[in-house]
Amino acid sequence: MNVKKLNLKIVFTLFLALFLVALAVNTGIAEEHAEETVAAEVTGDAEGSAEEAVEEESVPYVEDEYRNFFGIDGRLIVWIISQLHLMFAAFVLAVPLFVVIIEAIGAKTNNLQFDNLAREFTKLLSTAFATTAALGGLLSFALYGLYPGFMRYMTGVFHPYMYVYALCFFGEVFFLYAYYYSWDLLKTGPGKWLHVFLGVMLNVFGTTLMMLANSWATFMMAPSGIDMKTGAVLDRSAAFFNFLWMPVNIHRIIANVAFGGFVVGAYAAVKFMGAKTEEDRAHYDWMGYIGNFIGLAAFIPLPFAGYYLGREIYSASPVMGNIMMGGAFSWTFIIQAILIGMLFVGGNYYLWNGLGRIKGSERYTPYVKYINIVIFFCFAVWLTPHNLPLSGEERALIGEQYHPFSKFFGVMAAKNAVVNLLILATFFSFLLYKRANKGETMPFKSHGNAARITMIITVGLTIMYLLWYSMGLKGQDLNEAIRPYINPLLTCIKIQIAAIIAALFLTFSNRGKLAQTLLFVVTVSISVIYFWYYGFVLMEKANMVLRFLSVTQVSIVISTLIVNTVIDVFLFKNAKEVGGIQWGKIPNRAQYALLLLCVAIVTLMGLMGFIRSGLRMNWHIYGFMQDKSPGAFTPSIAYMGWVVSLIVFLFLAMVAIVFWLATLGDKKKKHA
């Protein structure tokens, strides 16, 4: 019976895969058909020349600029392969980042549980690595085969770096396998730290590898170091260290960690739901929790990194910026908003359900409804577009182009305010989760001088950063009419600094919770409520200052996140436990939330990959080399939706197979 069901599932999956492939490829073939007609006309001419060629008995070699993939457009093929490669690469690069941290925690605290978890993650890594490399190879062949002209130029510019890339690849392979296979060998004592070092080196090579490849992609968006008319290479290192390189590096590293966290979270969820023993359930519940924790922790700073990247894209080209946020790609950002909202909701939902396995959490569950309202309110504002889809009748009834909802919710000032509130609310959920198990706290003095010094250093560094930023603000070269609009920002930073200092003293006098509350209240008042209003003032009077407003907003929120985290650590250090966490006692609903998070982050990465690459529109290298292939159109949202769905489906299917292969050995061991 089960076999029959399994067969049905396999048949259905194959059907779904074929269906999606057919849909995605359909447009490519349609395009190709048009091309064939043109090609036929060209061949007509070519036949004549071929006859002449026969007479001369030699055919001149013609260098192709573009080819297609067995009738399918090259752009579609490269799109799918590169996105799959990037997703696997994101996983392979992200997992070692947190595996090493988890292993180091295990080594420091002598906790074997952490060590085992790190090892389990690494096991997934080694099989995924081979797939990444295979996809990478396929991508190179596809690029060189389908876009020979373009790749000839790219190779001309970047060939020295390509050797470095290959070298780093060797480094990564060496350290990955050394790391994985020396786990038992280097189990104890200084050997363990040598093992951690191997892991760190694996990360160094992996990250360098990613940064090298990033440079080629960002060069295509914001070329530098070349003559924009002739293409002559003027400064190879300038081409490499191009303007968007660092913003993309930062954004990708953080996004990869979030991606890796949510993917392993989903792995744990599947394992949890299939677990036969209580022990396994407890283990995979914990693993899912760690996955979600890593995913959310990386996801919290991600909007800041995204904002930085977006702003730099505007700097590189205001037109590309407008295409992105207000032009052809603006609707894809509404889809992005929905996915981001889903990630915040899913992450919080998992935490709230997780409260059920902690005795003592009843004290905090009443807050859940308020956080829920805040999160969904923010979600609503976050996805409200500036340009609403309106029918003619609606437009007539409203009497103008913008409805007040879109006017007040649809612009950046509102979006920045709510995304900061979303982040603060999620952070608040985390704090509640962390303290659910904790009862009576110890006085701050009992933690000794180390705690005091840590607090002072944290507060000192945070304040120094805020002061450094406000000095920068003061020093801005702005004209006299605009300059006064900077002052409210400076005042808000001063208020935040005062609040941080007050929080420090409150913590010292054992009022840590009050200190945290104070910081939350001040930050929400400034960064969310006041800056929402002030954003509109600036939009009207001094839009030059808007960019400083966003950074001030982010700086204030981050300072609160940092200081409140450190306060929380000491507030609940050595606190009495109320009842302990019963790992494994979590409803399956929460596991489905983990699966949703995984699907949402994979879709998000697919979507954002499309946006980043598609922004160049019909350019290979923006402003220098045009894409003249027949497939060089900007896909419609529907077509993009099909292709991204196909990519998500293929990735999840491949990951499932890879993970299944990775755990095949375990089953044998257990049976033995």
Partner 1 sequence: MAKKKNSYSMMMVVVSVLIVFAIIKVIAPYVFMILLAKDHTMPTPSTLLLWYMVLAISASLVYVSTSDLKWANFLSFILPAGNDKLKLLFQKMLVISIPLLVGWFVYSGTVPGTASPVELRIQHPTLLQEFEKMENPFANADEATKRRCIEEGKHLYQQNCRPCHGSKADGNGPFANAFRLRPINFTDPGTIATVVEAFAFWRIKEGGPGLPATSTPWDSAMPAWKDVLTDTQIWKIIMGEYATAGVQARQREEMEHE
Residues of this chain that bind partner 1 (CB under 8 A) = 243, 314-319, 322-323, 326-328, 330-331, 345, 349, 352-353, 355-356, 365, 368-369, 372-373, 375-376, 379-380, 383-384, 386-407, 410-411, 536, 539-544, 587, 589, 617, 623, 634, 637
CA 179 remoteness from chain centre: 26
Nearer of residues 177 and 624 to partner 1, judged by Cβ? 624
CB of 348 to partner 1, least distance (A): 8
CB of 280 to partner 1, least distance (A): 21
599: left (phi over 0), alpha (psi -120 to 50) or beta: alpha
- CB-side exposure of 285: number of CA atoms within 13 Å? 25
Distance CA 229, CA 223 (A): 12
Q: Of 555, 408, 539, 370, nearest to 468 (Cα)? A: 555
Residue 438 main-chain phi, psi, to 5 deg:
-100, 140
CB of 136 to partner 1, least distance (A): 31
CB of 403 to partner 1, least distance (A): 6
Residue 507 in contact with residue 566, Cβ under 8 Å? no
Beta-carbon contacts of 542 under 8 Å, excluding residues fewer than 6 positions away, are 481, 482, 485
Nearer of residues 153 and 331 to partner 1, judged by Cβ? 331
Nearer of residues 373 and 464 to partner 1, judged by Cβ? 373
Nearer of residues 153 and 377 to partner 1, judged by Cβ? 377
Nearer of residues 494 and 628 to partner 1, judged by Cβ? 628
Amino acid, single-letter form, for residue 358: I
CB of 489 to partner 1, least distance (A): 17
CA 73 remoteness from chain centre: 28
Distance CA 518, CA 503 (A): 7
CA angle 354/358/363 to nearest 5° reads 100
CB of 642 to partner 1, least distance (A): 17
CB of 33 to partner 1, least distance (A): 20
Residue 18 in contact with residue 658, Cβ under 8 Å? no
CB of 27 to partner 1, least distance (A): 15
Nearer of residues 121 and 409 to partner 1, judged by Cβ? 409
CB of 487 to partner 1, least distance (A): 18
- Give the three-class secondary structure for 75: helix
Nearer of residues 317 and 507 to partner 1, judged by Cβ? 317
Nearer of residues 365 and 446 to partner 1, judged by Cβ? 365
Nearer of residues 279 and 394 to partner 1, judged by Cβ? 394
Distance CA 165, CA 208 (A): 8
Distance CA 82, CA 77 (A): 8
Nearer of residues 12 and 376 to partner 1, judged by Cβ? 376
Q: Which long-range contacts (CB under 8 A, 24 or more apart) does 315-319 make?
A: 315/243, 316/221, 316/222, 316/243, 316/244, 317/222, 317/622, 317/623
Beta-carbon contacts of 622 under 8 Å, excluding residues fewer than 6 positions away, are 220, 221, 222, 223, 317, 320, 616
Residue 592 structure tokens:
């489905």
